[in-house]
Amino acid sequence: METKYPWRYCSLGGVTRVKLSTGEDIAHLGELDQKLWTVLSCPVDGLIFDRKTLEILDSDKDGRIRVGEVVAAAEWLTSVVKDKDLILNGSDSLPLDSINTENPTGERLARSARQILSNLGLNKNEISLADTSDSVKIFEKTTANGDGIICADAGQDPQVRQAIEAAVATVGSKTDRSGAQGVDAALVEQFYAELAAHKAWKAARTPEILPYGESTPAALAAVEAIASKVEDYFIRCRLIAFNGNCAAALDSSAATIEAFGSQDLNGKTAEIASCPLAHPRAELELPLDAVNPAWEAAIAAFRTEVFDKSFPQKNVLTEEQWKSIVASFGPYRSWLAAKAGSSVESLGDAKIDELLAADKKADILALIDADLAVAQEANSIDEVDKLMHLFRYFYEFLDNYVIFGAFYDKNRKSVFEAGKLYIDQRCLELCINVADMGKHADMASLSGMYIIYCNCVSKKTGKTATIAAVLTDGDVDNLRVGMNCVYYDRDGLDYDAVITKLVDNPVSVRQAFWAPYRKLARTISDRINKSAAEKDAKVTAALTDKANNFDVAKAKEEAAAAQAAPKQSFDIAKFAGIFAALGMAVGFIGSALAKLIHPWYTPFIVLVVLVVVISGPSMFIAWTKLRKRNLGPVLNANGWAINSRVLVNIVFGSTLTTLAKYPKLARTSDPYVKKKSPWPAVIFIFLLVLVAVGLVLYFTGNLGWLGITK
């Protein structure tokens, strides 16, 4: 996209990036080609940054901040601040005369800022982030604040206050900007509708629907307490009337009672109650004076509240009588089912009548309308808070979004740098919170960096975290999955960390030089250990076998035979032959070595060639990878849309991992230090002297006796 704005550029991390150094640069962000932005999108969660500012920037509330939202915030902020360069300072305070009142939005913001200071009782010509951040404090002394919620203290009329308090206590409440609990128009309408509905329902409670008068509720409760058991009893009776042979099976058998009869019956109420209510009979009658002991109290209540009133001086309840009793509660049950206004029932009939008679609904709604009338001014107060958050944090955010300047500045931390990991005598400064390990498993290898994944738990707070720590210096020989370490977040909170995964990539050229030899040494050591273990096992097995099968008599015979055998005399000719052969071998080796070191510098050339052949490929691969280490894939795995390379080259990488450094100490006072033998130094000096003498003799032509000429 072509633009007439004269953008300036700089180099950061080996990549050319646009430079944001003036307020005009911020004002023209909308003209910057999106291909030149370092980031196209970032998540709101997981960033070490002011949360309120991130939520302001995420205007569509989808959890991501995109270029369009950043541009919109830049245009809004630069339009309401006179001196745009002030935005670069990241100040907590803004002079009121720095608000652009020629802009309608700026004029409204300036007026609202003065209103905030007035509400807080402050007399000054600047407003701070602290002044706007506590909305409760701003509105705590106001009654009309534009949110459409009215609290009890907003009404001058005592009856209005009582009505609001009753509504809050029954139908619920909403939190006013002042922090108090109040009601809005919807709750007021619901409250008065509930009052009217409950009164109408209570009015429908006529004597005709009360079969037992005012004691009908108690009578119904007594019937419902035994209803299931009585119905069960009459079903058993019908089955016996149908087939008398099943009477024993439908009654409580002796075996059933014997199952718990031998135990302490105190506490066995449930088992006893599970037996039939009484002995079932074909006559469909329930003798109320011979019922299951566990149901005696319930039956007594039923007789008192219902049966004795309907059928006085009777001791037997028939099925027809039971059905008539149940049917008599029909109208009352229907009235109960139609119950309305339950939420206000706790107020009592007298209070409900009082509230309906006062009828302060219209007065409360008028107060709500008056509150909403100042909504624009009150909302502008929230907008001032938006202004102050952007004025303080927006340039810092841009530095982490457009150009990644904070990441490449050793004196600052970027929004994704979560803390420090201490492990194996080093500190890893670049640690990133991991949101999805599945994505990281796929993307991490593309970064070309050595990454240590850890699960972290804070024993102090119970907080947990999963981090990816980037190792950029030192060796990796001691690192392994399961190793314990310590992690500190940006707030200084410490976590117990355990390595869960390692992504192996070169750490340094020096490490790459020694890597082949270390691998060879490790392989040789493993093979030697394996071979030694196998031989030890064979020797142990052989000794065990010999010990188990040792024949004492045979051993004595062999010893006697050995003593009786003639001893072989010393053969001097044989030993002379051996020494002659050794002399020839030494002469051959010496001749070969003489040819090998002709000319004298040949061994050094061979040594250099061997080093290049062995370490060269490893060092070259490491060098190319170290130059191209890219943090982008790691951030992409965390939900970022990185639009440019985020290189961590060799020079920059050396600043992200610090190694332990110790001063040189005299160890003579340490009784456990290993004493150094002088022989290695003596042998080394002796070899140097031999080499020096050899060189002198070679260059003076005195090596002819060895067959070596200059």
- The whole-angstrom separation of Cα 150 and Cα 148 is 7
* CA 337 and chain centroid, separation: 49
Average pLDDT of 459-468? 92
- The whole-angstrom separation of Cα 423 and Cα 283 is 89
- Percent of all residues in the chain with a pLDDT value above 90, rounded to a whole number: 42
| DSSP of 322-343 | HHHHHHHTHHHHHHHHT---GG
Q: Who has greater pLDDT, 293 or 387? A: 387
Average pLDDT of 290-316? 90
Q: Who has greater pLDDT, 167 or 443? A: 167
- The whole-angstrom separation of Cα 16 and Cα 79 is 29
pLDDT for res 220: 93
| CA angle in degrees (0–180, nearest 5) for 527-532-533 | 100
Other beta carbons within 10 angstroms of residue 57's beta carbon come to: 23
Residue 161 reports pLDDT greater than 60:
yes
Model pTM? 0.61
Lowest mean pLDDT among 166-180, 222-236, 273-287, 571-585: 571-585
pLDDT for res 571: 57
579 by Cβ neighbours in 10 Å (0-12 / 13-18 / 19+) ranks as exposed
pLDDT tens figures, 465-521: 999 999 988 888 889 999 999 999 999 999 999 999 998 887 765 665 555 656 665
Residue 488: how many CA atoms within 13 Å on its side-chain side?
9
Strands 64-66 and 39-43: antiparallel
b or e along 361-392 (b: 16 or more beta carbons within 10 Å of the residue's beta carbon)? beebbebbeebbebeeebebbebbbbbbbbbb
Residue 6 reports pLDDT greater than 50:
yes
Average pLDDT of 541-554? 70
Going by C-alpha positions, the residue among 223, 225, 149 that lies closest to residue 187 is: 149
pLDDT for res 99: 94
- Round the average pLDDT of the chain to a whole number and report it: 82
pLDDT for res 423: 94
273 phi, psi to nearest 5 deg:
-65, -25
- Percent of all residues in the chain with a pLDDT value above 70, rounded to a whole number: 76
- The whole-angstrom separation of Cα 682 and Cα 235 is 112
Alpha helix (H) ranges present in 571-649? 572-596, 602-627, 632-637
Lowest mean pLDDT among 304-318, 394-408, 521-535, 555-569: 555-569
pLDDT tens figures, 41-54: 999 998 999 999 99
Q: What is the DSSP letter of 32?
A: S
pLDDT for res 444: 74
Q: Who has greater pLDDT, 571 or 359? A: 359
pLDDT for res 694: 59
Q: Which two tokens stand for residue 328?
A: 């008599």
Lowest mean pLDDT among 66-70, 250-254, 419-423, 446-450: 250-254
Residue 706 reports pLDDT greater than 90:
no
Residue 705 reports pLDDT greater than 50:
no
Residue 536 reports pLDDT greater than 50:
yes
Contacts of 420 by beta carbon, 8 Å cutoff, 6+ apart: 427, 428, 429, 431, 487, 488
b or e along 84-123 (b: 16 or more beta carbons within 10 Å of the residue's beta carbon)? bebbbeeeebbebebbbbebebbebbbbbbebbbebbeee
Q: Which contacts of 221-225 are long-range, i.e. CB under 8 A and separated by 24 or more positions? A: 221/305, 222/298, 222/301, 222/302, 222/304, 222/305, 222/306, 223/302, 223/306, 223/325, 223/326, 223/329, 225/298, 225/301, 225/302
pLDDT tens figures, 21-37: 999 999 999 999 999 99
Residue 588 reports pLDDT greater than 60:
no
Residue 175 near residue 136 (C-beta atoms within 8 A) = no
pLDDT for res 257: 64
pLDDT for res 292: 86
Q: How far is CA 173 from CA 134, 347, 362, in A?
A: 21, 16, 18
Lowest mean pLDDT among 282-286, 415-419, 583-587: 583-587
pLDDT tens figures, 314-335: 899 998 999 999 999 999 999 9
User: Binning pLDDT at 50, 70 and 90, where does residue 396 land?
Assistant: very high
